């Protein structure tokens, strides 16, 4: 179901099948989604701290992000801002590890808006791109440990 990877800076991260994350969000009536969102924000925080410690542009309060997507609905706007920033942060993290084909924050926010009417497709979308990020960084770390100077091909 989930595979754990050691990523420098982020520690242990989970690579989850996007379809599983999607189904869990549906089956638990959104409870899993809240935890998933908080944990993924926390992973990005940790990774950002290692990637650029002086100016952690990936930092955000995980608790604040959870509040934005739950209680923030009373003000309507906070969930959209939080989601927009979440996808931008994933894209920035992917840029830091050298991935060429990065997540689209516009597509992510459109999927989030669609989730209000239908199903939480944005979970699978974001998880797919997070998986690529963590796998790429774990591969880079393994190459560093082995002393291989070349970077893995970008995907």
Q: What is the pLDDT of residues 58-83, one digit of tens each?
A: 788 899 999 999 999 999 899 999 99
In percent, the amount of the chain with pLDDT more than 70 equals 89
Instruction: Count other Cβ atoms within 10 Å, centred on residue 140.
Output: 17
User: What pLDDT was estimated at residue 21?
Assistant: 95
In terms of Cα–Cα distance, which of 105, 143, 108 is closest to 125?
108
Is 61 within the bounds of a domain?
yes
Angle at 118 between CA 34 and CA 20, to 5 degrees: 50
Q: What is the mean pLDDT of residues 93-109?
A: 91
pTM for the model stands at 0.86
Is 122 within the bounds of a domain?
yes
pLDDT tens-digit series, residues 12-59: 899 999 999 999 999 999 999 999 999 999 999 888 776 665 566 678
Number of domains in the chain: 1
Is 155 within the bounds of a domain?
no
Domain that holds residue 25: 2-146
User: What pLDDT was estimated at residue 155?
Assistant: 54
User: What pLDDT was estimated at residue 147?
Assistant: 85
Is 115 within the bounds of a domain?
yes
């Amino acid at each position: 179901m989930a595979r754990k990877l050691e990523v420098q800076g982020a520690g242990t991260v989970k690579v989850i099948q996007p379809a599983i994350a999607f189904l869990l969000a549906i089956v638990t009536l959104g409870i899993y989604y809240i935890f998933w969102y908080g944990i993924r924000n926390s992973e990005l925080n940790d990774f950002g701290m290692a990637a650029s410690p002086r100016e952690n542009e990936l930092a955000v309060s995980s608790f604040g992000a959870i509040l934005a997507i739950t209680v923030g609905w009373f003000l309507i706007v906070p969930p959209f801002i939080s989601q927009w920033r979440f996808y931008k942060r994933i894209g920035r993290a992917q840029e830091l590890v050298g991935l060429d084909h990065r997540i689209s924050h516009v597509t992510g926010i459109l999927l989030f808006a669609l989730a209000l009417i239908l199903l939480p497709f944005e979970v699978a979308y974001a998880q797919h791109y997070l998986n690529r990020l963590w796998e790429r960084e774990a591969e880079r770390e393994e190459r560093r440990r082995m002393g291989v100077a070349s970077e893995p091909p970008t995907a």
